[in-house]
Amino acid sequence: YTRTAFFELASNLVGRHAARSCAIVMADIDRFKAINDTLGHAAGDTTLAHAARLIAGAVRLSDIVGRYGGEEFCILLPDCTSRQAGELAARLVDEAARQKVRHRDGLCIEYTISAGYAAADIPATLDDPTELLSALLEQADQALYRAKNEGRNRAVAAPEQVILNPAVRPRPRVSEEALAAR
């Protein structure tokens, strides 16, 4: 999906409480700019399409995959633990490293990806699903940066528990009677 469609679908799924927990995996093609700069944008496009097919083929039907930007992909995994998200991220990293993308003129392109992932329970009182998604994305993105800084071609976990910013923590629901009594 596009970035916009990904966020609409993810917000809808989290907002409906269709899952009790979820995880996000962010995957990024390593040194993608070098592919574009040395082999041309057509080779970059071929590599990008190949990575997208690889990711789409690795997820469940209930998962939501979207292009986050440039050469970065975002995967929402409903009812998924951090361990399960890590297994998927590691599988993607391993599988990408084994790929040879055939480009025109017989050129074979090899690429790797790095991934960061985070998981959280979905609070029953969550008023705005974008708050949880933003927190998960931020943590998965930080884990992705760690993967890049630690040498690329690896999957890195965010801290075990994603905590919503206290400023955006879900508010308890207050009954009409309680509001009237104030």
Instruction: Please list the active-site residues.
Output: 71
- Look at the alpha carbons of 47, 100, 116, 83 in this order and tell me if their dihedral is positive or negative: positive
CA contacts within 13 A on the Cβ side of 87: 7
Q: Round to whole Å and give the CA distance between 165 and 181.
A: 29
How wide is the angle at C-alpha 29 spanned by C-alphas 121 and 11, nearest 5°?
30
